[in-house]
Structure 1
């Protein structure tokens, strides 16, 4: 009969699933005050404290401190959201059965990873706007390469998200909370994310191969020298591929 409704059961196309998951994840993150603290407030405090205190602690840069530290703090914000916040949130989602229920849907592990990365990118737009505003108020004068900046943000997000999900998918929620915060503090202090690798002496040649060092250097090159740091982007790509493969192999829904 003309006009009769005919149901069409089946899963939505994967891109639509990923968009729906990304939108939901972004809304949940923005409603969580603790995650906003980690994502925006702490990096802003690090930026102001680093710029104001660089002379007092003897940091010597070839450029004004704000021009060096602001790109590093943007990298720190990406790391805090894509790794620490994601790992902790996902760990407790597994504990409370949220991930288990998603496992009964047509959403695959790859779709879950892509949706969470998409949500992170949406939140990072807010982070970049706020932290850049603070940096400009402190006298930051960026020299921007748009391609290098976008690639650094996307690949850095993918690298840390893969590692965060791998951590959350293999440990209990409490262990994930402790491990994610410990790794965050270690990389903040010694991972060459806020400060350039040159500030670490000979150890800088080691930490530049970490995702934190690669992301920090890539952001500094893109926003200070208007250059694309291809080597650092290659390091981030390798970490992203490795993290995604590890997540796909080890992540469990409960």
Structure 2
């Protein structure tokens, strides 16, 4: 018998009111703190999560680091902005898609579902983990980009506000998509390949690894249906000079369309989660 059950039994015998369980928000915060502690205890995962985009940024910036004529920016600075967007998606979509699939396969979700903890607390815990890792990932890339490649940070409040709504909408939509795609792998063994493959493809067709003006039009069309392309474009608008907008297909940063697409993915991702999420594998019945 648990402590809570014992307290409830005593309350019934004495006629006192049963102790009130913490609400979903408080349990979600506690669950989030647990998720963050568990994440930082896995040293290999921490190193891979935070070092991977910096290593790739260094490689691509070293290979394609020349000035982009007529834009007032270098290819290195272009890659910093785009890699920040990829880092946001990595800490949300990729991280949740793999980790939740593994937890489902190991029956952890099934055991949690059998506890008094509200289901919302589990997802709130994951959201706290995504926010912490996403903020840290972004901060590291900004520090590295400004120190090594001379990235210019926004000089006014409006620039930071634009960065803020792109970050919030982007990480929310990608996190919801990560929760939704976690139901696709049949086991933990296939989770990494199922989740990483579409993420890798999106990085190539969304202007992360290849300059946007060299990506074929049909690939840009496909990429424009997904959030990563608009996060990349929006963040380039935040950190690159206005003249660099000439590289974009529309010749502008298209903030309105970016907000519309990212907002739509937040709504669509939530619907997909509600329709597809499962607490146990298909083989468990």
**Distance apart, 1:97 and its partner CA:** 1.8
In structure 2, C-alpha distance between the alignment counterparts of 1:153 and 1:195, rounded to whole Å:
22
Q: Which residue of 1 aligns with 2:227?
A: 211
| 1:158 to partner: Cα distance | 1.2
CA-based RMSD: 2.7
Give the gaps of 5 or more residues in structure 1.
Answer: none
Return the match for 1:186 from 201, 218, 228.
201
1:94 aligns with 2:104: yes
1:166 matched to 2:180? The reply is yes
Deviation at residue 110 of structure 1 after TM alignment? 4.1
Change (3 A) 1:189 1:37: farther
Task: Return the alpha-carbon distance in structure 2 between the equivalents of residues 143 and 53 of structure 1.
Answer: 23
- 2: distance between equivalents of 1:118 and 1:190? 29
Q: 2:266 matched to 1:250?
A: no
Deviations 1:80-101 (A, max 9, x none): 1111122111111111122122
- Whether 1:65 and 2:75 are equivalent positions in the alignment is yes
TM-score normalized by the length of structure 1: 0.86
Tell me which structure has the larger Cα radius of gyration.
2
| Alignment equivalent of 2:56, drawn from 17, 32, 46 | 46
Matched, 1:153 2:167: yes
- 1:33: how far off? 3.0
Once the 2 structures are TM-superposed, how far is the Cα of residue 17 of structure 1 from its aligned partner? 2.1
Cα distance in 2 between the residues matched to 1:194 and 1:105: 44
The runs of 5 or more residues in structure 2 that have no matched partner are 1-13, 243-252, 281-285
Match of 2:28 among 18, 31, 46: 18
1:230 aligned onto 2:246? no
Residues 65 and 74 in structure 2, CA contact (< 8 A), matched pair in contact too: no
**Which of 94, 105, 113 is the equivalent residue of 1:103?**
113
CA gap of 1:7–1:170, structure 2 versus 1, over 3 A, is: farther
Structure 1 residues 234, 166: closer, same or farther in 2, change over 3 A? Answer: same
Separation (CA, whole Å) in 2 of partners of 1:217 and 1:89: 28
Kept in 2: contact 1:87–1:167 (CA 8 A) = yes
In structure 1, the residue corresponding to 2:215 is in which secondary structure? helix
In 2: Cα distance, 1:50 partner to 1:41 partner:
14
